[in-house]
Amino acid sequence: MSVSITLDGQEITTEEGATLIDVAADNGVYIPSLCYMRGKPCLGTCRVCSVKVNGNVMASCTVKVADGMAVEVSEPEVADMRKALVEINFTEGNHNCPSCEKSGRCELQAVGYEVEMVTSRFPYRFPVRGRDHASKHLFLERDRCIFCQRCVEFIRDKDSGQKIFSINGRGSHAQIEIDVDLADKMTPEQVTEAAEMCPVGCIIEKDLGYNDAIGKRKFDVKTLRQRALEGEES
Amino acid sequence: MNQKIHDVLTQNNSDRTRLIDMLWDIQRRDGYISDDIVKLLAEALNMSSLDIDETVSFYHFYRTKPFGKHPIYLCDSAIGRMNGYQEVRAALEGETSGVFGSVSQDAQFGLDETSCIGLSDQEPAMMLDDVVFTRLTPAKVRTIIDQLKSGQSPEEIANPQNHASSSLKYVESMVDTGIQNQGPVMFKAGRDYRAILQACLEQRPDEIINEVKSSSIRGRGGAGFMTGLKWQLGREAEGAEKYIICNADEGEPGTFKDRVLLTQSPKDVLLGMIMGGFAIESHVGILYMRAEYAYIKDYLQRQIQDFRDAGLLGKDILGSGFDFDIRIQMGAGAYICGDETALIESCEGKRGTPRVKPPYPIQQGYLGMPTIINNVETYACISRIIEKGGQWFSSLGTEASSGTRLLSVSGDCARPGVYEIEWGVTLNDVLKMVGATKPMAVQISGPSGECVSVAKDGDRQICYGDLSCNGSFMIFDQSRNLLDIVKQFMDFFVEESCGICTPCRAGGVDMRTKIERVIDGRACQQDLDECVSWGALMRATSRCGLGTTAAKPILTTLDKFPELYAEKLNKTEHLLLPSFNLEEAIGEYDNAYKVLVEEARK
């Protein structure tokens, strides 16, 4: 059913039950996110896509549009909340873009530019969570994990459907784990999919890094915003 | 199938949604859950080992290493700390020759801490797996540890008269009853459950729902959703099966009323669940009970069996053609499982992570089916509403808050325990009733609620629209250090955050750092301003109620007791940032000197 909502004051027509972050993108309004992937089930973990819906702050990846919704994206208070959430991701882990294999292909870095982050308002924690090099094709740089859950939910063993990636522990003690046996069975395509799906430099493909020159990297060629507005499925 | 897991799998039909039960079975048998067992289970359930580890590592009470013959969990709560927790802790370490967080050298005792275990009216308290000991003192600890060393089991020590574990006497051998007054709704002796249920089943389900609606009862878990409306939505929802869940994961620090209800009026609760099942046409009830209440489980199981034997549960209840049965699902130590969707995840054998909503449980809850979840107290109230009528219930309390509320009162007062109050009484009324002589502050609804000032808020009413209360009522007198209590509450939220969303997982830690800075005298006004701003961020953007309320210990005390913060601020004109800790920064100097210079000289 066709419904109408307002997006930053502009009236738009869309389908009832569509996901708000998609509706916004389809209407030229980019809302940053670090966990949501168009075409895949909502994870609702990073909260970076928060907007105001009828005055209440909600993560736009979790909102199904309904007739008459008043959505504010650029409203300063909620825009600053999005920025704060990006900033806190930078300080909770270790994100040193200049030395990172993922630089130029990293969504956290790209979103950092999008929200015009200069530094983080939160204290840097410099965690030491340790690496895991045990699998043949991938390694985990755990200090960069933002716990988005993409790999946990979307990368599964092709035969059994079992989880290859998982989260151990809870809260601030949590850390990402990889099942080495299952990981070693991954096809080259799946290995690439996992590494590309990771929005930060946590899941890294071995023997690959710094392949594209600055200026020719993924988000140099086409920004995350452009990709989102073109409706690109991640 | 491997012999080590054969029985466990058989008892649980190799159903992976019963993983919590399987893990408990294994831990009860082996004392802990080994990597080998996890591998075997993973194979049998077609899961990866790490997938099982996800669940195991989420819950506080699952152990992956041996933790001594007697694993001891001492309750570390604000109330415990007001009643001798430190001395008891020291006594435990002394008597067992152990250190908290580890196993004693003789492998007899494991010592660990745990959050509030629902005994705030009789702390300090500790758990030895399924057995609890209350009102601890160093002398009592000495006696208990001596008895354990001499070979007595925790059950024998706590229950010397050897009452059956299914009896009320067994529960009461460990825990005092706690009821302090008699109100109009709860704890009525001599109820004729058969007649009440018979009368209920003779009506139509929609009449039952209308009765609940006319009572205007709001869910007693804290959020205050209209129960009648929830049930109506549950009735209208379509599903091959529907579920009735009772939330007995009473984890909010300071609350213990559900413990008292489940021990003193368990059949009120069961009856309310049956009525809910009848109203929405569900046939399965699940009572999700926190692991800390394991000592009540056999007794509760007996109550369920009594109902079955009397034809009040099971097939064709009282000849009405209505089938309904109840099972108990134990938790394993996670405050977050009090959130209804986290609770459902836990019932399905997974990490207790709150789900993304929508869909709501009423649409897709347990196993994807429409599910009604209500608090223990709500079901107990419903059993009385259906008996006495919605009008009777709504005549109690205030217009917006009908009926009565059970308060779990603890802290600085003469008579801690459970009180039934009509909504609408004032804070001062309650304080007088419980014998609080010099109250300074009251923590209403636990850490997730608000800290109010008795001087400023004494005339406020306990009701929705003013001081809504989930049952937790902790009193702090003028001798208490509120900032230390705030710090303990922040520790609690950091410990209990599931970590699924960024603002709660990361924000909680940063907020805790702020209160530590205030306590250390290293904070400046900017720190307080940031507390307000970051707290608003957590409130607005977190995924569930834990994250949205986790900053409240700081925010509400900052609002009511700003002077406590102001006097701690570092106002000295200095070249260094106030937050810079000079002592800490040079603290390693002596050690470094030793290593680099003195050792090198040798």
* Residue B411 neighbours by CB under 8 Å, 6+ apart: B79, B82, B120, B254, B436, B443, B474, B475, B476, B477
Nearest to B497 among A42, A84, A172 (CB): A172
Number of H helices and E strands in chain A, helices first, is 8, 10
To the nearest whole Å, the CA of A86 is away from the closest chain B CA by 9
The answer to whether B252 touches B445, Cβ cutoff 8 Å, is: yes
Kindly indicate the confidence band of residue B601, based on its pLDDT and cuts at 50, 70 and 90.
Answer: confident
Nearest to A147 among B334, B505, B537 (CB): B505
Question: Hey, is the C-beta of A46 within 8 angstroms of any chain B C-beta?
Answer: yes
Q: Looking at the partner chain, which of A88, A160, A164 has a beta carbon nearest the beta carbon of B502? A: A88
**A44 reaches B (C-beta below 8 A):** yes
Beta-carbon separation of A167 and B358 below 8 A: no
3-class secondary-structure state, position B195: helix
Window 176-205 of B: residues touching A by CB (8 A cutoff) are: none
Amino acid, single-letter form, for residue B531: C
Question: How high is the mean pLDDT of chain B?
Answer: 96
- B284 compared with B581, residue with greater pLDDT: B284
The whole-angstrom separation of Cα B397 and Cα B22 is 44
Instruction: Give the closest of B54, B58, B506 to A88, CB-based.
Output: B506
Given pLDDT bands bounded at 50, 70 and 90, which one contains residue B575? confident
Q: Is B357 within 8 Å of chain A by CB?
A: yes
Is A81–B540 a contact, with Cβ atoms under 8 angstroms apart?
Answer: yes
Inter-chain CB proximity A47 and B497 less than 8 Å: no
The pLDDT score that the predictor gives to residue B2 is 80
Whether B543 and A59 lie within 8 Å, measured CB to CB: yes
> Which regions of B15-137 does DSSP assign to beta strands (E)?
70-75, 109-114, 126-128, 131-133
B41: chain A residues, CB-CB within 8 Å:
none
pLDDT given at position A223? 95
Q: Which amino acid is at B192?
A: D
Separation of CA B273 from chain center: 20
B132 vs B25: CA distance, rounded Å: 20
The pLDDT value given to residue B594: 85
Identity at B527, one-letter amino acid code: D
Bridge partners of residue B371, in order along the sequence? B243
- Cβ-Cβ contacts under 8 Å for A98 (sequence gap 6 or more): none
Residue A234 pLDDT more than 60?
A: no
A169/B58 touch (CB, cutoff 8 Å), yes or no: yes
H/E stretch holding B419: strand B417-422
Per-residue pLDDT, B547: 97
Q: What is the pLDDT of residue B183?
A: 95
Q: What is the pLDDT of residue B595?
A: 84
- B566 CA: distance to closest CA in chain A (Å): 22
pLDDT tens digit sequence for A24-64: 999 999 999 999 999 999 999 999 999 999 999 999 999 99
Compute the distance between CA of residue B185 and CA of residue B388 in angstroms, rounded to an integer: 10
- pLDDT tens for B453-485 read 999 999 999 999 899 999 999 999 999 999 999
d(CA B202, CA B199): 5
- What is the amino acid identity at position B198? Q
Q: Cβ contacts (< 8 Å) between B503 and chain A: which residues?
A: 47, 85, 88
The minimal CB distance from B47 to the residues A42, A149, A162 is found for A162
> Distance (Å, rounded) from C-alpha B101 to C-alpha B109?
11
| Nearest CA distance, B502 vs chain A (angstrom) | 5
* Arithmetic mean of pLDDT over chain A: 95
Residues in chain B, overall count: 602
Is the CB of residue A88 less than 8 Å away from at least one CB of chain B? yes
Report yes or no: A179 at the B interface, CB cutoff 8 Å. yes
Contacts of B313 (CB under 8 A, 6+ apart): B270, B274, B304, B307, B324, B325, B326
Q: Do A64 and B358 touch (CB under 8 A)?
A: yes
Q: Whole-angstrom Cα distance, residue A65 to residue A55? A: 15
Instruction: Find which of A57, A60, A166 to mutate to test the B interface (most B CBs within 10 Å of its CB).
Output: A166
Residue in chain B closest to A53 (alpha carbons) equals: B540
pLDDT in tens, B207-249: 999 999 999 999 998 889 999 999 999 999 999 999 999 999 9
Q: Tell me: the pLDDT tens digits for B370-393?
A: 999 999 999 999 999 999 999 999
Torsion of Cα atoms, B484 then B489 then B491 then B493, to 10°:
-160
> A157 in contact with B at a CB cutoff of 8 Å?
yes
Does any CB of chain A come closer than 8 Å to the CB of residue B44? no
CB contact under 8 A, A125 and B509: yes
A121 contacts B501? CB cut-off 8 A: no
Over its C-alpha atoms, chain B yields an Rg (Å, rounded) of 25
pLDDT value, residue B287: 98
Which band of pLDDT confidence, cut at 50, 70 and 90, is reported for residue B535? very high
Give dist(CA B115, CA B113) in Å, integer. 7
Show residues of chain A in contact with B506, CB under 8 Å: 88-89, 91-92, 122, 172
Residue B509, chain A, CB below 8 Å: the answer is yes
- The confidence score (pLDDT) of residue A154 equals 97
pLDDT in tens, B112-171: 999 999 999 999 999 998 999 999 999 999 999 999 999 999 999 999 999 999 999 999
Helix pair angle (B482-496, B552-560), 10° resolution: 160
Which residues of A are less than 8 Å from B541 in CB distance? 47, 50, 57, 59, 81, 85
Taking a contact as any Cβ pair under 8 Å apart, which residues of chain B between 278 and 337 contact chain A? 334
Contact check, Cβ <8 Å, B541/A43: no
Q: Could B503 and A88 be called an inter-chain contact, meaning their C-beta atoms sit closer than 8 Å? A: yes
What is the nearest CA distance from A85 to chain B, expressed in angstroms? 7
Least CB–CB distance from A57: residue in B47, B496, B541: B541
In chain A, residues 117-136 whose CB comes closer than 8 Å to chain B: 121-123, 125
Q: Is the dihedral of CA B559, B565, B567, B571 positive or negative?
A: negative
Is A47 within 8 Å of B541 when comparing Cβ atoms? yes
List residues bridging with A12 in a β-sheet: A5
Q: What is the mean pLDDT of residues B415-438?
A: 97
Distance CA B513, CA B508 (A): 9
What phi and psi, each to the nearest 5 degrees, are found at residue B475? -105, 130
Contacts of B357 in chain A (CB under 8 A): 62
State the DSSP string of B282-338: --EEEEEE-GGGHHHHHHHHHHHHHHHHTTSSBSSGGGSS--BEEEEEE--S-GGGG
Q: What is the DSSP letter of A132?
A: E
Whether pTM exceeds 0.90: yes
CB of B537 less than 8 A from some CB of A: yes
CA distances from B166 to B85, B171, B296, B305 (A): 30, 8, 8, 11
Chain B residue numbers with beta carbons less than 8 Å from the beta carbon of A161 are 46
pLDDT tens digits, B272-316: 999 999 999 999 999 999 999 999 999 999 999 999 999 999 999
Task: Kindly indicate the confidence band of residue B1, based on its pLDDT and cuts at 50, 70 and 90.
Answer: low
